[in-house]
Amino acid sequence: MNLSRRRFLQISAGTVAGLSAVDLTHRVVSAAGKDAQSGLKRIPTFCNVCFWQCGAIASVRDGKLWKIEGHPRDPLSRGRLCPRGSGGIDAHTDPDRLRTPLIRVSERGEEKWKAVTWDEALNFVAEKMQKIKAEYGPESVAAFIHGLGGKFFKHTLRAYGTENIAAPSFAQCRGPRDVGFTLTYGDDAGSLERTDIENAQCLVLIGTHLGENMHNSQVQEFANAVGKGASIIVADPRFSVAASKARFYLPIKPGTDIALLLAWMNVIVGEKLYDKEYIDKYGFGFEQFVAEIQSCTPEWAYPETGIEPETIRATAREMARYRPATLIHPGRHASWYGDDAQRSRAIALLNALMGSWGRKGGLYVPASMELPEYPHPSYPPAGKATADNPNNRYPFADEVISTGIRDATISGKPYPVKGWLVYSTNLMYSLPNREETIRAIQQLDLLVVVDVLPSEIAGWADVVLPESNYLERYDDLHIEAFREPFITLRQPVVEPPDDQKPNWWIAKKLAEKLGLGAYYPWNDIEQYLDARLKGGGYSFEDLKREGVIVGKRPPIYFEDGAPAVFNTPSKKIEFYSTQLKQAGFDPVPRYTRPEPGPAGFYRLLFGRAPMHSFSRTQTNHLLMDLMSENAVWVNATEAARLGLKSGDYVRLRNQDGAVSDRIRVKATERIRPECVYMVHGFGHTSRELRFAFGKGASDSQLITRYKTDPLMGGTGVNVNFVTIETEA
Ligand SMILES: Nc1nc2c(c(=O)[nH]1)N[C@H]1C(S)=C(S)[C@@H](COP(=O)(O)OP(=O)(O)OC[C@H]3O[C@@H](n4cnc5c(=O)[nH]c(N)nc54)[C@H](O)[C@@H]3O)O[C@H]1N2
Ligand SMILES: Nc1nc2c(c(=O)[nH]1)N[C@H]1C(S)=C(S)[C@@H](COP(=O)(O)OP(=O)(O)OC[C@H]3O[C@@H](n4cnc5c(=O)[nH]c(N)nc54)[C@H](O)[C@@H]3O)O[C@H]1N2
Ligand code: SF4
Ligand SMILES: [Mo]
């Protein structure tokens, strides 16, 4: 890959000229419309190449998808899509898509099925589900569901009687962060994050690799903040794209963030640089907190982090200089080293010292639209507690732990789990330790996978259900808390090419076959959407035409009257956590040195590339044109020592003997010597993914170990180590 840094940060500008029907002053009406001259029909919708769900306008000519651009009035895209969003149109014509329902005819994992009708497939699923219910109870069916499209499947499963519904976005992604922030503020960092990046005068990124991590609004705001001269501080073992924009780059040793955070706080407290008024007003347990971090000096942190005491002091002072407009970004993917909830809590506390929670340039108070749900019968009362967290072993887990469901499936404890429904998550890539996932699957009587592609997890399914893609269907409304409240609509832009069906249709039909039709008291999704919108006083017809409804922005900063409410036991910001103390954990975060790897091994780190989403875009020809395989970053000196140069193919072997596919070396000064780095999502093993198969290697293959967060069950995965083997 030879993209310049500028190019990395670039987001394609919406061709505003091409959207002549749209008035950017928000008065004239229509985002939709047909241009007589060009024959282009414009239809507003929103993107799904990642979970950010940017508002978009798709153009169709003669029934063919032409292009997709940002919706100028959508608060998330602000008229621009990221490269993945623009390239998303290729998914519609992808020749490797799933086309019809399939029932497996051979051994699990052999990828051999017969094509069946929807009726046959759903009858099969419903019969198996009824059998599991009769034998074990409804809780013995579990689900892994990721993203907005999963809403109706959750509904069907709740009606059926199970609450064992997990998503990798908790224990494998942002769960530790949300728990760390909630313990501190009584509320989490949000998804859409409540980060006021645009107004931050000092932005601290601890690993968060904005620019490679391409969540659209955040990257646009980041570019604006850089443009306005904000002071950027980046701590990362790898010189990331964000680091190239930074005033201070701290090449930290992996796994030592808590030491750096404690030392920063030690300096800020020691030099009385914190927001005293804010802490007097909103803080709880500050004295105890101060006593706890007394010994965490920059000199103490230096050998742990590799960051010199003077740099720690200088950056601490830099943060204090701009407070409260100093934002220590909470990050998103936080399941790293097993101490992650406490690491996130330390980030939350550093923000509290800056007085940035609730303040301009910090973490604002978001607002969202309220719409009543479509009325339905109440769900059957929960029978058994969820299977993922027996005896409340992880006391601060506030969502179902995906890996906990997997453990229960393997062990049959606390009770047997015999069916899995998997919607839009490729568990072979998203859960650590594939062997365990396969062991769990072997215990199942039923594995149903709803996907758009013959993904690796679909390869293990008994029944594969092909979904129409995001440009071919309605979904439920997109309503999230953000700077301004909004509602956006996903609507079909083109027809599905084959026998694919939308999630709402599949979930509804399945409910009917399970005798749960009463939970779907509507005939089709348009009726459902119309009723929901009417409930809030909005019109479905207007939304179809406009794509987005934006509400009035309420005050989002404390200084403007946003409510300063902290839903913690003390009703304040908890510098000292009695909840944690009572549960036997550190009430103020403490640092533990990460366990080193075996001699001669490198710690395996991974992240994102701006033109790919996880493991879901490697069949997309447009995006593969931008990046067709991943590379393993190796420190240049180490590479030379090993006789490797950029472009050489190698394989990585981990501490447990797992060997990766072929991957090219990128020898670079831009990474610390004790670690290597790769972009997640490549190295597909499903032969049905003809275009993606055999390109690059997968970090997931090498993640055989994980360290579980004792507070909430998150799986820290940056605890694997590899050696590098040449192809010969
Ligand atoms: N090793 C490793 N593990 C990770 C991560 C990592 O970087 N490395 N990242 C972690 C993080 S942050 C997260 S959030 C999770 C993400 O994990 P996943 O949610 O599993 O993300 P993807 O790998 O994109 O898998 C999405 C699956 O959904 C399918 N899909 C795409 N669009 C649709 C659709 O419209 N309908 C249906 N039904 N299916 C669709 C794709 O074909 C693919 O099979 O993984 C976590 N796990
Ligand atoms: N283009 C694109 N953008 C995406 C996604 C995508 O698939 N594609 N996925 C989205 C999702 S769901 C998520 S959760 C986010 C994930 O993106 P982020 O929230 O930014 O999190 P990570 O991917 O874990 O961060 C990886 C970075 O952390 C660094 N790092 C590793 N170990 C350490 C350490 O010990 N200390 C410090 N300080 N840094 C360390 C790595 O070198 C790398 O630069 O991205 C989102 N944005
Ligand atoms: S950030 Fe990019 S991929 Fe994600 S929804 Fe927005 S445009 Fe689509
Ligand atoms: Mo994530």
Tell me the mean pLDDT in the region 472-484.
97
Tell me the mean pLDDT in the region 681-699.
95
- Could you tell me if 209 and 320 lie in one domain? yes
Range of the domain at 643: 602-726
Residue closest by Cα to atom 27 of ligand 2: 207
Residue 235, domain member (yes or no): yes
Residue closest by Cα to atom 6 of ligand 1: 680
Token digits for 511? 């409910």
Ligand 2 in contact with 177 (CB < 6 A)?
A: no
pLDDT at 29 over 70: no
- Could you tell me if 210 and 352 lie in one domain? yes
Q: How far is CA 404 from CA 165, 221, 399, 432, in A?
A: 11, 37, 11, 12
- Could you tell me if 570 and 607 lie in one domain? no
Ligand 1 in contact with 150 (CB < 6 A)?
A: no
Residue 203, domain member (yes or no): yes
pLDDT in tens, 414-462: 999 999 999 999 999 999 999 999 999 999 999 999 999 999 999 999 9
How many Å apart are CA 663 and CA 650, to the nearest integer?
5
Check residue 148 and report its DSSP letter: G
How many Å apart are CA 11 and CA 18, to the nearest integer?
17
- Measured over the CA atoms of residue 566, residue 571, residue 575 and residue 580, the dihedral's sign is negative
Residue 1, domain member (yes or no): no
Mean pLDDT of the chain: 94
What is the model's pLDDT at position 266? 98
Tell me the mean pLDDT in the region 675-686.
97
How many CB atoms lie under 10 A from the CB of residue 6? 9
Give 30's pLDDT tier (boundaries 50, 70, 90).
low
Question: Among 514, 549, 582, which residue terminates a domain?
Answer: 582
- By most ligand atoms within 8 Å of CB, the mutation choice from 146, 333, 676, 718 for ligand 2 is 333
- Tell me the one-letter amino acid at 538: Y
- Cβ–Cβ under 8 Å, residues 694 and 661: yes
CA of 700 to the centre of ligand 2 (A): 15
Ligand 3 in contact with 54 (CB < 6 A)?
A: yes
Give 728's pLDDT tier (boundaries 50, 70, 90).
low
- Could you tell me if 718 and 570 lie in one domain? no
- Could you tell me if 716 and 573 lie in one domain? no
pLDDT at 16 over 90: no
| Cα 28–Cα 32–Cα 35 angle in degrees, nearest 5 | 95
CA of 38 to the centre of ligand 3 (A): 27
pLDDT in tens, 32-64: 777 777 788 999 999 999 999 999 999 999 889
- Could you tell me if 575 and 647 lie in one domain? no
How many Å apart are CA 88 and CA 621, to the nearest integer?
10
- Could you tell me if 655 and 571 lie in one domain? no
- Could you tell me if 688 and 572 lie in one domain? no
Residues with Cβ within 8 Å of residue 281, at least 6 apart in sequence: none
Q: Which atom of ligand 3 is nearest to the CA of 83?
A: 2
CA of 323 to the centre of ligand 2 (A): 25
Residue closest by Cα to atom 4 of ligand 3: 50
Q: Which atom of ligand 3 is nearest to the CA of 77?
A: 6
Residue 707, domain member (yes or no): yes
Percent above pLDDT 90 for the chain: 93
Residue 65, domain member (yes or no): no
Q: Omega of the bond prior to 414 within 30 degrees of 0, cis?
A: yes
pLDDT in tens, 570-579: 999 999 999 9
Q: Domain containing 678 — which CATH number?
A: 2.40.40.20
What is the model's pLDDT at position 459? 95
The three-state secondary structure class of 322 is helix
Give 18's pLDDT tier (boundaries 50, 70, 90).
very low
pLDDT in tens, 422-434: 999 999 999 999 9
How many Å apart are CA 568 and CA 352, to the nearest integer?
14
What is the model's pLDDT at position 169? 95
Residue closest by Cα to atom 32 of ligand 2: 254
pLDDT at 2 over 60: no
- By most ligand atoms within 8 Å of CB, the mutation choice from 336, 422, 423, 426 for ligand 1 is 426
How many Å apart are CA 465 and CA 461, to the nearest integer?
10
- Could you tell me if 202 and 248 lie in one domain? yes
Residues with Cβ within 8 Å of residue 511, at least 6 apart in sequence: 155, 156, 159, 160, 517, 519, 520
Q: How far is CA 620 from CA 116, 197, 502, 546, 693, in A?
A: 27, 31, 21, 29, 12
Residue closest by Cα to atom 7 of ligand 1: 680
Give 11's pLDDT tier (boundaries 50, 70, 90).
very low
Residue closest by Cα to atom 40 of ligand 1: 424
pLDDT in tens, 64-113: 999 999 999 999 999 999 999 999 999 999 999 999 999 999 888 777 89
How many CB atoms lie under 10 A from the CB of residue 162? 29
CA of 166 to the centre of ligand 2 (A): 21
- Tell me the one-letter amino acid at 563: P
- Cβ–Cβ under 8 Å, residues 166 and 142: yes
pLDDT at 627 over 90: yes
- Could you tell me if 276 and 346 lie in one domain? yes
- Tell me the one-letter amino acid at 531: A
Ligand 3 in contact with 614 (CB < 6 A)?
A: no
Tell me the mean pLDDT in the region 297-314.
98
pLDDT in tens, 355-375: 999 999 999 999 999 999 999
DSSP character string of 164-189: -EE-HHIIIIIHHHHHHHHHHHSS--
* 674 alpha carbon, closest ligand: 2
Question: Among 582, 615, 644, which residue terminates a domain?
Answer: 582
Q: Domain containing 232 — which CATH number?
A: 3.40.228.10
What is the model's pLDDT at position 20? 28
pLDDT in tens, 580-609: 999 999 999 999 999 999 999 999 999 999
How many Å apart are CA 344 and CA 494, to the nearest integer?
43
Q: What is the pTM of this model?
A: 0.95
- Could you tell me if 615 and 707 lie in one domain? yes
How many Å apart are CA 314 and CA 317, to the nearest integer?
5
Tell me the mean pLDDT in the region 163-177.
97
Check residue 3 and report its DSSP letter: -
CA of 337 to the centre of ligand 4 (A): 16
- Could you tell me if 284 and 326 lie in one domain? yes
Q: Determine which helix (DSSP H) or strand (DSSP E) holds 249, and give its type and residue range.
A: strand 248-250
**Cα torsion at 480, 484, 490, 493 (round to 10°)?**
-150
* 496 alpha carbon, closest ligand: 1
Ligand 1 in contact with 216 (CB < 6 A)?
A: no
DSSP character string of 367-415: B----PPPP-PPPPPP-SPPTTSGGGSSTT--S--HHHHHHHHHH--SS
What is the model's pLDDT at position 27? 30
Q: Which atom of ligand 3 is nearest to the CA of 219?
A: 1
Ligand 2 in contact with 101 (CB < 6 A)?
A: no
Give 727's pLDDT tier (boundaries 50, 70, 90).
confident
- Cβ–Cβ under 8 Å, residues 506 and 488: no
Residue 644, domain member (yes or no): yes
Residue 252, domain member (yes or no): yes
Residue 616, domain member (yes or no): yes
Q: Which atom of ligand 3 is nearest to the CA of 49?
A: 3
Q: Locate all alpha helices (DSSP H) within 186-229, ordered by sequence.
A: 216-227
Tell me the mean pLDDT in the region 690-706.
96
* 608 alpha carbon, closest ligand: 2
Tell me the mean pLDDT in the region 456-473.
97
How many Å apart are CA 635 and CA 239, to the nearest integer?
11
Question: For the chain, what is the domain count?
Answer: 2
Of the listed ranges 110-114, 202-206, 210-214, 265-269, the one predicted with least confidence = 110-114
pLDDT at 532 over 80: yes
Tell me the mean pLDDT in the region 472-476.
98
Q: What is the spatial order of strands in the sheet that 231-235 belongs to? A: 248-250, 231-235, 202-206, 326-328
Ligand 2 in contact with 171 (CB < 6 A)?
A: no
